[in-house]
Amino acid sequence: MILSVSRRTDIPDYYSDWFYNRIKEGFLYVRNPINPHQVSRIDLSPGVVDCIVFWTKNPSNMIERLEELKEYAYYFQFTLTGYGKDMEPGLLDKRKELIPVFRKLSEKIGAKRVIWRYDPILLNNKYTLEYHIKAFGEIAESLAGYTEKVVISFLDLYAKIRPGMAKLHVRDISEKEMLMLAGHMAAIAGNCGMKVESCAEAFDLKGAGIEHGSCIDKKLIEEIIGCKLAGGKDKNQREGCGCLESVETGLYNTCRNGCRYCYANFSGNAVRINAEAYDPASPLLCGVIGPGDKVTERKVKSLKVL
């Protein structure tokens, strides 16, 4: 089993105590996002967890406790963009805080196991093509030697985020613009010793020298664990997603980063209510088991080919 921590919220930044407690106790509960009364119990034994994939914009709360994960293989996907507080109001200063955190994490676990994400890419009157080229270049230079790969993707205007994006005058990106920007990014990254891959892009960027990638990357995981894996494409993701199947641990409407483009937060009020319900000792993230909930053991197993 590959454990995703998490596509739905920033667990390393805001809920790391909860996750470390879950590792210590050996299980966690996760609600079904379609039917919240259906709760799965997930076994976290090292024998069934082949790799943990962390998604975050600030893993600083986890770094000093990584020894607690010594029985597990894992890697981090660390998002660093050039946006300001108008797009990412909850984030710390990139130059002063987050780039040093990225470097510190890389020094602890190695450049291969810290993937830089520059996504989503969106355009408006402020965040122009020229802006992204400059911002991407500055970040790439600051991370040279601290990562081997950068993942990019262009914003998908989901219905739930369209009103907010319209207020920020975010516009559609043409295929010509995608190719031009991707080409610049590939050249910049190459000069900094990095490979660029795309994430769930329907448009082919091979013309810019960029291959389709996988965030939950079967090849990378096999390199980290030194073993071949079974398992196929994750059927719960978008058609263009090449990720290996995984078990998700997060909960929507719990991330406090407040990024304007985020698809995982539908309501600021829901985020506030859920955050107030956070208990690091609970098996559930931001909540407790209620009288109408049904807890079922999810069948999970190792994907290792021995």
Q: What is the mean pLDDT of residues 218-238?
A: 88
Band of residue 241 on the pLDDT scale cut at 50, 70, 90: confident
What whole-number distance in Å separates Cα of residue 101 and Cα of residue 11? 16
Give the model's pLDDT for residue 156.
84
- Bridge partners of 22, per DSSP, are none
How confident is the model over 280-292, as a mean pLDDT? 96
- pLDDT > 70? residue 251: yes
The pLDDT value recorded for residue 291 is 93
Q: Please, which residues have CB within 8 angstroms of residue 79's CB and are 6 or more apart in sequence? A: 55, 56, 57, 117, 118, 119
Residue pLDDT, tens place only, 101-160 = 999 999 999 999 999 999 999 999 999 999 999 999 999 999 999 999 999 999 988 888
| Per-residue model confidence (pLDDT) at position 254 | 97
Encoding tokens for residue 110? 């190695």
Q: What is the pTM of this model?
A: 0.95
Q: In one letter, which amino acid is 124?
A: N
Mean pLDDT of the chain: 94
Q: How large is the average pLDDT for residues 18-24?
A: 98
